[in-house]
Amino acid sequence: MKLDARRLPAFLKDPGATRAALLFGEDAGLARERADALQEAVAPGNDPFRVAELPREAAARPGALAGEAAALALTGGRRVVRVRDATDALAPALREVLEAPGDTLIILEAGELQARSKLRQLAETHARAAAIPCYRERGAELSATIAAILKEEGVTAEAAAIAWLAGRLGDDRQTLRRELEKLALYAGRGGKLAEEDVLACIGDGSALEMDEALVAATAGDVAMADRALESAMSEGANPVQVLRALLRHVQRLHLASVAGIQALQPPVFFRSKPGFEKALRIWRPEALEAVLAGLLEAERQSKSGGTGRPVPDAAVARAALLTLARQSAILARRG
């Protein structure tokens, strides 16, 4: 069966008579987290007599997975067998398990599987199996997950702090949970996090310097934009990242110039808000559209990967940002 988001929380707490759960998708951290939850629901405490891990190659051998699934726990209770990095080669072995009697739960973790994948089709269509997609969350869904994980740790956060986290932590679940656990320790049980707390605890130096460079460029502060960009690149930002960050920043500025700053998600970071508002007073939507056209072309040219296009060096990225900064300064002087 296919499991949708509504039914998933209950299933992770109690998979019932399901014999196999296939977790697939781009977010390996989320798949691991859900697999751990299923294991805990069926065989709590990571009991070595009730939990077994079978290498993928061994599981694909005729009879191996079925034999492991048929084994009984020495201490009694339902068993769990886990297989990581599952592929279509396991489809025959899984079908053998599903057609045999028993109650051992087989948990398979896979990466991306196309809709025509034999393993995925078997898990989606067999009455005793479940297919659980594990794709990276974004937007409101990611914000809700951040709030939920913090709540598990006994911590709350202001909406602005959650929005900042959603916009900058990334969407890999393992990384996300690790950073949120660090934040929870910082706040203490029962604590409440503000934007300033989040920045103090996990602020990424290169990301913050990049933000400062982008805001300074569109606000017409050429010297500040140059200094901040130099600092960001010295901390690891590369030229392609600079071009793409500049493109996203101008896109957000254009949206705010048309729909208002309140339309932006995530909201403008509190430290950047004065410069962002100044840029909105400087730039008209039609002028930003012209800037976007030029940046889109630069971003297209920056993509490589066998196309023969060169990857821009630091001089190209710096020229793009400082050209925009000088344009902003000219517009600001004109009023």
Asked if residue 160 is part of any domain, the answer here is yes
185 and 277 in a common domain: no
The verdict on residue 1 lying in a domain is: no
CATH code assigned at 212: 1.20.272
**pLDDT exceeds 60 at position 151:** yes
pLDDT bracket for residue 309 (50, 70, 90): very low
Asked whether residue 212 falls in the same domain as residue 324, the answer is yes
Q: Exposed, middle or buried, 271 (CB in 10 Å: 0-12/13-18/19+)?
A: middle
Res 308 pLDDT > 70: no
Do 209 and 327 belong to one domain? yes
Q: Is residue 2 part of a domain?
A: no
Query: Tens digits of per-residue pLDDT, 198-210?
Result: 877 875 556 677 8
For residue 265, the surrounding DSSP H or E stretch is none
- Which residue matches tokens 């932006």? 264
CATH code of 102's domain: 3.40.50.300
Count of domains forming the chain: 3
Tell whether 251 and 175 lie within a shared domain: no
241-263 as b/e: b if 16+ CB within 10 A = bbbbbbbebbebbbbbbeeebee
Q: Same domain, yes or no, for 283 and 305? A: yes
- Asked whether residue 149 is assigned to any structural domain, the reply reads yes
Boundary (domain end) residue, out of 177, 202, 227: 202
Q: Which domain holds residue 304?
A: 205-334
Q: What tokens were used for 82?
A: 């886990």
Q: Is position 180 within any domain?
A: yes
Question: Is the pLDDT assigned to residue 188 strictly greater than 60?
Answer: yes
Binning pLDDT at 50, 70 and 90, where does residue 297 land?
A: confident
Same domain, 211 and 187: no
Which of the listed residues 133, 162, 193 is the one where a domain comes to its end? 133
pLDDT exceeds cutoff 50 at 313: yes
Those residues whose C-beta lies under 8 Å from the C-beta of residue 260, and which sit 6 or more positions away, are none
Q: Would you say residue 3 lies in a domain?
A: no
What single letter denotes the amino acid at residue 317? A
Is 107 found in the same domain as 15?
yes
198 Cβ contact partners less than 8 Å away, ≥ 6 residues apart: 157, 161, 164, 165, 183
pLDDT digits (tens, 9 = 90+) for 226-275: 998 888 888 777 787 788 889 989 999 999 999 999 888 777 877 788 99
Residue 181 clears pLDDT 70, i.e. is over it: yes
Residues 127 and 20 in one domain: yes
**43/299: higher pLDDT:** 43
Over range 71-97, report the average pLDDT.
95
226 φ, ψ to 5°? -65, -45
What is the mean pLDDT of the segment spanning 55-68? Answer: 95
Q: Which of 85, 111, 133 is the last residue of a domain?
A: 133
The pLDDT of residue 307 = 45
> Tell me, what CATH number does 154's domain have?
1.10.8.60
- What is the structure's pLDDT at 123? 97
Q: Residue 272: how many CA atoms within 13 Å on its side-chain side? A: 27
In this prediction the pTM is 0.61
